Every structure is written in C-alpha cells, then in structure tokens.
Amino acid sequence: MSQRRRRPLSRRRIAVIAAVALALVYGGFELGRAVSGYSVVAAMKQGIALRRENRALAERNETLERRVATAELSQRVDRQAQSDAQRMMGELQAETARQQQELQFYRGLVARQFGAGTLRVQELRIRAEEEAREFRVRITLVQAATRDAVANGTLTLTVSGAQGGEPRQLALDEVEPRQRRELPFSLRFFQQIEVPVALPEGFEPAELVVETRLGRNAEPRRQAFPWRVEGEPEPVVL
C-alpha cells in the first residue's frame, strides 16, 4: 500500500495558524487578567483620571509658586517701606531738633532785647486799598517768651491826625467797617492781624497808636507809629 505524500503547508496557512495561536494566547492572557480583576477599560479610565489629577496638581503647584513669589515681593516691599519710614523719621527728628535749637536761640535774642514775657508790636505796615480813603493795617505781634506760653488778649488802635485845622483822634470803631471796639489775639510766638481802616473825608492822619492788653484786668501797653503808607513818599520835614 503506497503511502500518500503530505503536502507542505503553505505560507498563508502558517500565517493564519500563527495569528490564531496569538489570538488564543492574548485571549487567554486577557481572560486571566479579567478573572483576577484587571480590566483594560478600567485601566484606561484610571490613566485618564491620573493625568487629570496630575494637571490639577501642576496648576495648584504653579498657583502656590505665584503666591510664594508675591508674598516674598510683598515682604521685600514692606521691608523697604519700613526702612524708608525709619529713615524719614530720623531725618524729621533731626530737623525738628535743629529747628528747636534755632527757636531757642531766637527766643533768647528776643528775650534779651525786649525782656522775657514781653508782648509787643514788632512791625506795623499800612497799605492803601483800591477805594479812596481805605487802607489795610497789618500788625505783627511778638511775644518774647522763654516757655511755650500762650498769650491771649485784645488789641485796639487809634488814628491821630487833624481835620479842618483841628486835632482829632479816631477810635477803632470809628474807622473799622464792622465798628469793632477791639480785636482778639492768641499767640505763642507771633501773630499777624490785619485791620481794614476807612478814614473820613478831610481827615489827615499823622500817627497810629496800637494798644494791647493781656487779659481783662492787665494794664494796656501802647506803642505809637507814624502814619506811613507803603509806596508813598515820606513827608519832607522842614
């Protein structure tokens, strides 16, 4: 009995058999993983979730880094501001001390010249207004105090001159538009008081007397000044 020759397998059959074998092996592998609780879909979902969590952590980390950078910058700015404030305070304290020394020096000069505790008119200026016969008198009061004592009191003035060839004196309420009899003052070192003055027609002023009074019962202090308007030529004395 003659034996049949077996035909060799073709390449196509070999490829098909190999593919089937691989499929069986992979299927068995996946079946084993499925039996043991492993799932490809679950693994993919877990991978996606991990990537999202990783992005969220990265964004949070970036936010925290920005906050840390902002806090560090704020601390540097605060330290610089504190340093500048301390420097300015030191400069102000030094300037205050210097001014205090100058004040003590000038206060001593005034006290030596006029006497301690003396209130006086240091300067008097008369300026003509636009309207005829109207003037503004600026009186500068100075207190030669050795301590920071406040001087409170009142001031009044009298304009002496002539009208119709006869001597005449005009009190404050006669020349001041509001007809005030006295003007209050309150000063520690000096104060300027401006008084509007309107003179009657035909009156020729010659002198202005300022009277200051500390308190109500103190004796008044009088100082006389020539009536001299700023910008006008001085009268010629023959």
Q: Domain ranges in the chain?
A: 10-114, 118-226
> Which letter, b or e, does each residue of 79-118 get, where b requires 16 or more Cβ atoms within 10 Å of its Cβ?
eeeeeeeeeeeeeeeeeeeeeeeeeeeebeebbeeeeeee
Structure tokens belonging to residue 236: 């010629």
Categorize the per-residue pLDDT at 47 as very low, low, confident or very high, splitting at 50, 70 and 90.
Answer: confident
The answer to which of 28-42, 92-106, 153-167, 214-228 has the lowest mean pLDDT is 28-42
DSSP secondary structure letters along 211-226: EEEETTTSPPEEEEEE
128/141 Cα distance (integer angstroms)? 21
| pLDDT class of 180 with cuts at 50, 70, 90 | very high
pTM over 0.85: no
CATH of domain 118-226: 2.60.40.10
Beta bridge partners of 204: 162
Which sign does the torsion angle of CA 92, 96, 97, 99 carry? Answer: positive
Neighbouring-strand partners of residue 151: 187
For residue 202, what are its two tokens?
């035909």
Residues 78-104: pLDDT tens digits?
Answer: 888 888 888 888 888 888 888 877 766
Distance CA 21, CA 77 (A): 73
Is 161:168 a contact under the CB 8 Å cutoff? Answer: yes
Among 209, 228, 17, 195, CA closest to 121: 209
Residues 206, 162 contacting (CB under 8 angstroms): yes
